[in-house]
């Protein structure tokens, strides 16, 4: 991002803060509060140790303050008043002191630098305290801890992104793509999973603890493990497949991108599966727009998978029959995607704007987004197709098993699976893909 773009981003950030203040003013009045105190959170210490786990700052705190990783700090928001940021800045020669960037947003806050992690005292009135705060602290403040209706309303305020937030998500994507290119090259150079992860981190210029989620880097069968959590140190002898699901954060905002590559030892059918899943994703993105029901898109993904599995000769029945018998669900047990923002699985995906619960359909329990799309939402679009024996094997004994070509399944199994994931903004006219092409 160059200086002119940064200046524009800073202006957009100020407009974002102004709109946020107006939204909080309205909500505080509606819910009868004089203010909210938002805690950034803090990292957990390992038991009986002096080392800490990695840490993500609370989303509602970062909605205001664009400092991912800031801990033990507090933000007091009151109607019509400049927000007060109590910054934890201990006198500590073991660590580098807390500093704020030379950016315009800093002047929008009244800032107090304090040595202690204890919360600021609250003025007289009714306050809510939000975040990972214990009940005793809330009691000592005389504040209500995470009141559900207020929290739900604030969550809803994160669903439609401001121009500033969209720029941040776009930049997170741009940075992540540098990593994805290097990861692809490391795969074609014969790297082990760890080599691919290190290539990703190096090219996207980030340390592991700053990632929005642990990268999923699966070679061959590991590509079928949806949240595969290891990095093999030794290169695979066969270069069949790489599935890499890896992101980036920019000013707290997350990118969440997956690519799947076929290596020199891949079958034609697997290459066809990658192409087919990519086409399904492109077609679904074209269908996006305000007023489009996301669960309907999810259902269309299953229809598309039924057709693709038929074309590849994996399934012998019609696409509707493959969906109806649960065959496509066994090949893709996750949802089409989710809201994206300050959290990779962002808040409020399963509620209406007024807070009414929108649970996922019983046959698709993993669907994280059950809403109707609105302009300003940023969502992931991530169709997938995997050979997961734990899910497919039980079909062998059912009538659906007779509609599956098990030899074709077994030929695909050593490749693991495919997921193609982009981050897409819903616009007034339709949708804009924020993920650059590789």
Q: Which residues bind ligand GLY (CB under 6 A)?
A: 213, 245, 256, 344, 382, 421
The dihedral region occupied by 369, where left means phi > 0, alpha psi between -120 and 50, and beta the remainder, is beta
User: Cβ 427 to Mn ion, closest distance in Å?
Assistant: 20
The reply to whether 245 sits near Mn ion by the rule CB under 5 A is: yes
Q: How far is 152 from 345, CA to CA, in rounded Å?
A: 15
User: Cβ 382 to Mn ion, closest distance in Å?
Assistant: 5
Q: How far is 136 from 129, CA to CA, in rounded Å?
A: 12
Reported residue count of the chain is: 438
Q: What distances in angstroms separate CA 141 from CA 43, 126, 167, 379, one per listed residue?
A: 22, 10, 37, 37
User: Cβ 320 to Mn ion, closest distance in Å?
Assistant: 27
CB contact set of 216 (below 8 Å; sequence gap of 6+): 226, 227, 228, 229, 243, 244, 245, 246, 258
CB closer to ligand GLY out of 55 and 213: 213
> Is 382 within any annotated ligand binding site?
yes
Positions 341 through 380 that interact with Mn ion (CB under 5 A):
380
> Is 293 within any annotated ligand binding site?
no
> Is 256 within any annotated ligand binding site?
yes
> Is 245 within any annotated ligand binding site?
yes
User: Cβ 256 to ligand GLY, closest distance in Å?
Assistant: 5
User: Cβ 385 to ligand GLY, closest distance in Å?
Assistant: 15
Inter-residue contact 404 to 321 (CB < 8 Å):
no
The reply to whether 215 sits near Mn ion by the rule CB under 5 A is: no
Quick note: the x/- pattern for Mn ion over 375-394, rule CB under 5 A, is -----x--------------
Q: How far is 227 from 173, CA to CA, in rounded Å?
A: 20
CB contact set of 180 (below 8 Å; sequence gap of 6+): 200, 204, 244, 246, 257, 259, 438
Q: Which residues pair with 424 in a beta bridge?
A: 379, 433
Inter-residue contact 130 to 37 (CB < 8 Å):
yes
User: Cβ 282 to ligand GLY, closest distance in Å?
Assistant: 18
Per partner kind, with CB cut-offs from 5 to 8 A, the member of Mn ion, ligand GLY, none near residue 213 is ligand GLY
CB closer to Mn ion out of 63 and 180: 180
The reply to whether 256 sits near Mn ion by the rule CB under 5 A is: yes
CB closer to ligand GLY out of 24 and 253: 253
User: Cβ 329 to Mn ion, closest distance in Å?
Assistant: 18
Q: How far is 40 from 119, CA to CA, in rounded Å?
A: 11
CB closer to Mn ion out of 87 and 381: 381
Helix (H, G, I), strand (E, B) or coil at 370: coil
CA-CA-CA-CA torsion for 61, 16, 252, 122, nearest 10 degrees? -10
Q: What distances in angstroms separate CA 373 from CA 73, 391, 424, one per listed residue?
A: 34, 30, 11
> Is 338 within any annotated ligand binding site?
yes
Per partner kind, with CB cut-offs from 5 to 8 A, the member of ligand GLY, Mn ion, none near residue 195 is none
Instruction: Name the DSSP letter for residue 118.
Output: S
- Span near Mn ion by CB under 5 A; candidates 23-31, 93-101, 108-116, 419-427: 419-427
CB closer to Mn ion out of 165 and 421: 421
Annotated binding site: 245, 256, 338, 382, 421
Binding site for Mn ion (CB under 5 A): 245, 256, 258, 380, 421
Binding-site members for Mn(2+) are: 245, 256, 338, 382, 421
């Amino acid at each position: 991002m160059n200086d002119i773009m940064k200046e524009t981003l800073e202006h957009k950030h100020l407009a974002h803060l102004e709109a946020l203040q107006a939204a909080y003013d309205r909500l505080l009045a509606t819910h009868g509060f004089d203010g909210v105190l938002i805690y950034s959170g803090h990292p957990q210490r390992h038991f009986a140790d002096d080392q800490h786990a990695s840490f993500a700052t609370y989303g509602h705190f970062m909605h205001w303050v664009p400092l991912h990783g800031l801990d033990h700090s507090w933000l007091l928001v009151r109607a019509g008043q400049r927000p007060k940021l109590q910054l934890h800045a201990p006198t500590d020669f073991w660590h580098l002191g807390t500093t704020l960037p030379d950016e315009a947003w800093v002047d929008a806050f009244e800032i107090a630098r304090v040595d202690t992690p204890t919360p600021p005292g609250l003025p007289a009135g009714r306050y809510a305290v939000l975040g990972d705060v214990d009940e005793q602290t809330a009691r000592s403040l005389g504040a209500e801890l995470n009141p559900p209706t207020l929290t739900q309303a604030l969550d809803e305020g994160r669903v439609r992104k401001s121009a500033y937030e969209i720029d941040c998500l776009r930049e997170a994507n741009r940075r992540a793509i540098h990593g994805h290119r290097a990861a692809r090259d490391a795969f074609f150079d014969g790297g082990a999973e760890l080599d691919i992860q290190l290539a990703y981190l190096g090219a996207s210029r980030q340390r592991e603890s700053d990632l929005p989620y642990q990268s999923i880097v699966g070679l061959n069968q590991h590509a079928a493990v949806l949240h595969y959590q290891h990095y093999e140190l030794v290169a695979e002898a066969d270069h069949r497949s790489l599935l890499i699901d890896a992101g980036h954060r920019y000013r707290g905002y997350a990118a969440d991108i997956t690519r799947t590559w076929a290596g020199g030892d891949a079958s034609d059918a697997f290459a066809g599966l990658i192409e087919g899943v990519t086409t399904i994703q492109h077609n679904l993105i074209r269908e996006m727009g305000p007023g489009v029901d996301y669960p309907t898109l999810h259902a269309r993904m299953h229809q598309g998978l039924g057709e693709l599995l038929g074309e590849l000769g994996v399934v012998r029945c019609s696409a509707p029959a493959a969906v109806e018998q649960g065959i496509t669900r066994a090949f893709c047990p996750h949802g089409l995607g989710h809201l994206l923002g300050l959290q990779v699985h962002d808040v409020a995906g399963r509620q209406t704007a007024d807070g009414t619960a929108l649970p996922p359909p019983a046959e698709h329990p993993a669907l994280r987004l059950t809403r109707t799309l609105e302009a300003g939402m940023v969502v992931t679009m991530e169709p997938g197709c995997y050979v997961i024996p734990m899910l497919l094997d039980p079909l062998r004994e059912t009538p659906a098993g007779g509609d599956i070509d098990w030899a074709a399944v077994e030929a695909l199994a050593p490749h693991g699976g495919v997921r193609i994931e982009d981050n897409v903004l819903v616009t007034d006219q339709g949708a804009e893909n924020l993920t650059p092409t590789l």
